Structure 1
C-alpha cells in the first residue's frame, strides 16, 4: 500500500513484481531490525552506539514504528539508559525520547516493554547526587542525557496512568527538587524539570504533597527571578504553573501576594509580541536560492542565529504555558462549582437555572474576586486573543522551510490552538461587558469563523478549538441576553447562504468533537432567529431543523446524537415555535430517533463523564419533550 513501482528501462515486457518487491522490502526491514538488536546487545561501545543511531533513523519514518515495537526494540534499548558509556546513555535517551513523542499508543507500547524500570533506575543511580562537572569532557553530553530522560518521563506520564503510578512508588519526586537550584544547574535543566513537574503534579495529591514538602522554597525563589530574558520568563511562568498545580488548581488557597505575583507574571509573559519576534527572526533566517538550496550560516553568524532561535522558542513555550495555566484556572473553578452542585437533583437545578429563560447563576460567579479582578485589570482576555493570530504568511513560510526554525513553525500553530481553547474557557468565565458586550462576542464569533473555515486549514486541533470558541460565543450571546432585540438585530439578515459553509462542514467532518460544536452552533443560530420570525428566518430555522434531523439519523457516536437531539429540544422549547414544529413534523421525527438513542446508549456505555451526562440528559428529556410538544401542536 502506497508503494511506488519503479520503471525498468531495460525491459520491454511489463511484469507485475509488486508482491515480490513488497516481500523484499519486508525482509530487508526485518534484517535491519535484527542487525540493530544484535548491535544493541553487543559488548562494544561503538556497536551499541551505531545500533542506537540506526534505531533513531528508522523512527523518523512513522511507517516503521509498529514493526519496531513488535520486535521488542524498546525492551532491548531501554537498559542502555544505564550503560557505563556516556555516549551510549545519551544516544539511548535521545532515541527513546523521540519515540515517546509519536503517539499515546506508542507510549503505551513502550510501557508494555517495561520502559519505566530503567528510567526509574537512571534517576536512582545517576541523578540522586549528580552535579555537572565543569572539568568533565562529557559534561554537555551528561546534561543533555538528563534533559532527554526528563522529557521521556514527562511524555510517558502524560500518556499513561501506570507511568504516574511507577513515578509515585519511586524516589524521583524526592530527587527532582534539587534540580530547581538555578545557581547550580543551568536554565535548560531547571526548565526541563519544571515542565515535567507541571504535568505530573496536576491532579496527583501524592505528588503535590511531595513537591510542597521538598520544593516550596525553590519554586518561590524561581518565581522571584529578575529579568526579561526569554529563559527567565519561561522559568518564572513554569514555576507559577507548578505552584498552582500543587494546590490542586485552587489558586485561592495561596497567599494574596503570591496570587498577584503569579497573575503579573502571566500577563508579562503574554505581553511579548510573538508575531514581532518571529518576524524579526525570519529576516535573519537564510532563504532558499533558485535551485531550492539553503546556505546555512557559519561561525559567529551561525551561533547568533541558533541563539535567536532558542530565545524565540523559549518565549513561545512560556506563552503556551501561561495560556494553559489561565485555562486551568478557569476550568478548575468551574469544576469546583459543578462538583458542589452534584449533591442536588440536576434536572431540578437546570429547570431553576433557566426559569423563565433567565439564568439565576452566572458562570462568571464561579471565579473568585481576586482572580477576576486580575484578569480584567491585566486585560488577560485581549492578551490571550492576540496569541490566536499567526505571524504573516510569508514569515510562517520562511520559518517552515528552514530546518533549524521548523520547530518554531510548529510551536506557533500549537500556541494558536491552545490560545483558542483558553479563549473558550475565558468566554464562559468573564462577564459579558468585559468581552465587549453582545457586539464584541459577535465579532469574536465572526473572526474565529475565519480561522475555522479558511480554505487551507490543515489542523484538526485548530478546527476543533475554533469551533468550540464559536459555540461558546453564541452560547454567551443566547443565555446572557435572551430575547434581547440587540441580539436579534445581529442575526436578522442571516440567510441560508450564510450558514451553508457550516452545514457543509458538518456533512464532511470526520471528527465527532467538531461535528458536535457545529451542530450546536447552527442550533443556537436558529434559536436566535425565533424572536424575529418572518418568511426568511422561518425558512432558515426549518432548513436547519431538517438538516440536524438528517445528521442525527446518520450519526454513529451516541453523544453527538444526544447533542443533536438536545439542540432540537432547546430550539423548539419556546411556544412560538409550535407552528414550525408542525411544519417540519418534528414530533414524529423525534419519536423515530428516541429508540435509536436508547439502543446506541446501551451499546456505547464507555464514555467520558461529560458525555455520559449529555446522553443521560437527552434520553431523559426527549420523551417528556415529545409529549409536551405533541399536546401543543394538537391544539393549533
Structure 2
C-alpha cells in the first residue's frame, strides 16, 4: 500500500520525511498514495496523521491530483483534525485546507460540501477565545501559524460562499476576532490576517458591520493614524481604510471629511511604493539555479534576510492590491436604483416596449463626492494606479517564478496588474477627461492597453479581459467628449486596414465571451469615432469593421454577445452621416436576417445575469425600430 516510514518530528527529520514522501509519490500510483493518506489520517498515532497530512500537501501541489483527493472524501477526514489534541496535526491540517482553498472556486465549493465550516467554527470557539501567545512557549510559532492559516481559510471560504458567511455570522467568530487586533499582544502577522478577513466579511453584511463597528472602531482609528512607513504598516492602514468604507456600505461620502481625507492619503501613499524597484531588489537576493539545474537555498543570516525581504514585498503588493480594490469600488458606476425585476419573455419580444436606456440619469463623471474627486486629482491617484499595470522586467519575473519561495510574489504581481486594469476601467468612466491627460492621454492608455492584448501571446484570460475592458472604456471616454465631435479624433484618422486586422484576428480567435464582447464594442466605438473624419481610408475601415461584426454576429452562440454586436452596429449607424456606408454594405438587409436569430436565441437562453438580460432586451427592442428608420433614410439617397 505504499506506507510511509515513521520518523520523529524534529526539523532535520521532518526534512527527511518530506524527501522520503517525495520519492514514494514519484514511484507509487496515485491511487495507492491516496489510500495510504486515508489510512494515516484515520490512525491514532500522531506521527501517522502528521505524515499523511504532509503527503497530502505535496500531492495537491499538482492540480491533476486535486479532483481525486476531493472525490475520495479526504476533506471530510482532514477537517476534524483542526480540533486534534496535537498542535502539530492541527497546524498541518489547517495548512492543507488553506492551500486547497486558494486553488479555485469549485474547490471551495467542495470544501463547503464536505462540511469544513463546522470544524473551522469549532476551532475558533475551542482554541481562540482566550488564547494568547506565550513568548517562552515552544509551540508559540506553530500555534500562531495555525491561527493565521485558519483565518485565511475562513477568508477564502467567505469570499466564495454565501453559506460560509452565514456560518460565520451565526457563530461567535466575529466576537472573537476583534481581540486579535491588539498589535502589542499578537504582532503584525496575526493582526494583518484578521484585518484581511474582516475587510472581506464586513462587505454588504449588516450583522458583521454592526459587530465590528461596535467592537473595533478604536482599533480602526488607531490604524488609520499609524505613522510607521514599513510595508506591513501600510498594509494595516490600507485595510483599516477599506473596512471603514465597508462599514458605511461603500458610501465614502458619508464619512467625516477628516476621515475621508485620511483614507485618500493612505490609498495614495500605499500606491506610491515602488513595487517594481522592490521586486528588482528582491530578485538580486534570490538564489539562482546552478549548472545542474538545482537551487541551493540560503542558510543562516542570509536565509533570514531573504525571508524578511520576501515578506516586505508581499506586504507591499497586498497593500497596493487592497488600495486598488477600494478605489475600484469608489469609482464603480453600478446603479443601485436599477430595477431588480426579471425581464419577461414578453418584454423581450415586444418591439414597442419601453427601451432600457439611461435616459436623463446622472453621468458617471458626476457620481463621485467632490472632495473625493479633488483628492484623487491632487494626489495623482490615477497615475499611481496606471503604474501598477506594468510588471517588473522580464528577467526579474523569471527569477521570481523559478524560486519556490518567491513564486507567490510572481502570482501576486500578475493579480495586481489585472486588478489595476479593472480599476483603470472604472476610473476612466468616473474621472473627467481633462484630468486624464485629455483625449491624447486617454488615446495613449488605449494604445498601451492594446499592447497587452495584441502584442503578446498570453494565456492569462483575466489580464486579457481587464485590458480589453480598458480599451473599450478609453474609446468610450473619447466618444463621450462632446459626443465624439472633437478634432482630437483625428488621432484615429491614419488607422489603416492593416492596423485593424490585428484586432479583428484577435476577436476571431477569442474563446472567452466577455473578451469578445469588449473587443466587438471597442472596434464599433472606433468606427464611430472615424465617422467624424470620413475619407476613402476611414470609409474602408468602417466598412471592414461593419462586415466583420456582421460576420461574427452570425457565428455567435451567446445571445448576449450577439446582442452586444447588434447594439454596437445600431450605435454606429444611428449617425446620419453613415447612410451612404449603410447602403454600401447593405446593412438593413443583413440586420433583417439577424433579427429572428436574435429573437430565437433570446427564447432559448433565458437564464442570464440581469445586466445581460437588459442588454438582450434593449437590442431586441431597438433593432426593429432601427431597421425601419434606416431603411427610410437610405431610400431617400
Matched with 1:384 is 385
Map 1:581-600; keep pairs closer than 5 Å. 581-600=582-601
C-alpha deviation, 1:292, in angstroms: 2.6
State the SS of the aligned residue for 1:119. helix
Q: Partners in 2 of 1:483 and 1:310 — Cα distance?
A: 48
Map 1:253-272; keep pairs closer than 5 Å. 253-272=254-273
C-alpha deviation, 1:138, in angstroms: 0.8
C-alpha deviation, 1:632, in angstroms: 1.5
C-alpha deviation, 1:294, in angstroms: 2.4
Q: Partners in 1 of 2:29 and 2:414 — Cα distance?
A: 37
C-alpha deviation, 1:335, in angstroms: 3.4
Q: 1:347 to 1:528 in 2, by over 3 A?
A: farther
Structure 2 gaps, min length 5: 1-25, 343-351
Question: Looking at both structures, which has the greater relative contact order when contacts are Cα pairs under 8 Å and sequence separation is at least 6?
Answer: 2
Map 1:133-532; keep pairs closer than 5 Å. 133-331=134-332, 334-336=334-336, 350=357, 352-353=359-360, 361-532=362-533
Q: Partners in 2 of 1:459 and 1:53 — Cα distance?
A: 31
C-alpha deviation, 1:538, in angstroms: 1.2
C-alpha deviation, 1:339, in angstroms: 7.1
C-alpha deviation, 1:222, in angstroms: 1.4
Matched with 2:88 is 87
C-alpha deviation, 1:88, in angstroms: 0.3
Q: Partners in 2 of 1:87 and 1:410 — Cα distance?
A: 29
- With normalisation by structure 2, the TM-score equals 0.91
Cα shift readout 1:2-36 (whole Å, capped 9, x = no counterpart):
xxxxxxxxxxxxxxxxxxxxxxx999333322221
Cα shift readout 1:262-308 (whole Å, capped 9, x = no counterpart):
11111111111111111111222222233333232211111111111
C-alpha deviation, 1:350, in angstroms: 3.6
Matched with 2:557 is 556
State the SS of the aligned residue for 1:385. helix
State the SS of the aligned residue for 1:482. helix
Q: Partners in 2 of 1:80 and 1:483 — Cα distance?
A: 63
C-alpha deviation, 1:349, in angstroms: 8.2
State the SS of the aligned residue for 1:226. coil
Matched with 2:19 is none
Matched with 1:40 is 41
Q: Is the CA contact 1:569–1:625 (under 8 Å) kept in the aligned structure 2?
A: yes
Q: 1:559 to 1:349 in 2, by over 3 A?
A: closer
Structure 1 gaps, min length 5: 1-24, 354-359
Q: Partners in 1 of 2:61 and 2:256 — Cα distance?
A: 47
C-alpha deviation, 1:322, in angstroms: 0.6
Matched with 2:570 is 569
Q: 1:121 to 1:377 in 2, by over 3 A?
A: same
Q: Partners in 1 of 2:110 and 2:209 — Cα distance?
A: 28
Q: Is the CA contact 2:356–2:617 (under 8 Å) kept in the aligned structure 1?
A: no
Which has the higher mean CA deviation after the structures are superposed, 528-537 or 549-558?
Answer: 528-537
Q: 1:227 to 1:26 in 2, by over 3 A?
A: closer
Q: Is the CA contact 2:40–2:48 (under 8 Å) kept in the aligned structure 1?
A: yes
Which has the higher mean CA deviation after the structures are superposed, 456-465 or 80-89?
Answer: 456-465
C-alpha deviation, 1:113, in angstroms: 0.7
Q: Is the CA contact 1:194–1:239 (under 8 Å) kept in the aligned structure 2?
A: yes
Q: Partners in 1 of 2:29 and 2:448 — Cα distance?
A: 52
Q: Is the CA contact 1:127–1:175 (under 8 Å) kept in the aligned structure 2?
A: yes
Matched with 2:72 is 71
Coordinate RMSD, CA, aligned: 2.1
C-alpha deviation, 1:468, in angstroms: 0.5
Cα shift readout 1:442-479 (whole Å, capped 9, x = no counterpart):
11111111112222423111111111111000000001
Q: 1:376 to 1:315 in 2, by over 3 A?
A: same
Q: Is the CA contact 2:478–2:484 (under 8 Å) kept in the aligned structure 1?
A: no
State the SS of the aligned residue for 1:481. helix
Matched with 1:3 is none
Cα shift readout 1:547-577 (whole Å, capped 9, x = no counterpart):
0011111111111111101100000001111
Q: Partners in 2 of 1:523 and 1:218 — Cα distance?
A: 50
Q: Partners in 1 of 2:558 and 2:296 — Cα distance?
A: 51
State the SS of the aligned residue for 1:268. helix
Cα shift readout 1:162-217 (whole Å, capped 9, x = no counterpart):
11111111111111111111121111111111111111111112211111122111
Aligned residues: 603
Matched with 2:3 is none
State the SS of the aligned residue for 2:183. coil
Q: 1:338 to 1:372 in 2, by over 3 A?
A: farther
Matched with 1:536 is 537
Q: Partners in 1 of 2:415 and 2:109 — Cα distance?
A: 23
Cα shift readout 1:62-111 (whole Å, capped 9, x = no counterpart):
11111111111111110000000000000000001111111111111111
Q: Partners in 1 of 2:337 and 2:27 — Cα distance?
A: 56
C-alpha deviation, 1:338, in angstroms: 5.3
Matched with 1:21 is none
Q: Is the CA contact 2:355–2:621 (under 8 Å) kept in the aligned structure 1?
A: no
Q: Is the CA contact 1:194–1:238 (under 8 Å) kept in the aligned structure 2?
A: yes
Q: Partners in 1 of 2:262 and 2:557 — Cα distance?
A: 48
- With normalisation by structure 1, the TM-score equals 0.92
Q: Is the CA contact 2:121–2:168 (under 8 Å) kept in the aligned structure 1?
A: yes
C-alpha deviation, 1:334, in angstroms: 4.4
Q: Is the CA contact 1:86–1:141 (under 8 Å) kept in the aligned structure 2?
A: yes
State the SS of the aligned residue for 1:102. coil
Q: Is the CA contact 2:355–2:622 (under 8 Å) kept in the aligned structure 1?
A: no
Q: Partners in 2 of 1:613 and 1:209 — Cα distance?
A: 35
Q: Partners in 2 of 1:27 and 1:134 — Cα distance?
A: 43
C-alpha deviation, 1:348, in angstroms: 6.7
Q: Partners in 1 of 2:279 and 2:220 — Cα distance?
A: 30
Q: 1:377 to 1:144 in 2, by over 3 A?
A: same
Cα shift readout 1:204-254 (whole Å, capped 9, x = no counterpart):
122111111221111111111221011111111111111111111111121
State the SS of the aligned residue for 1:133. coil
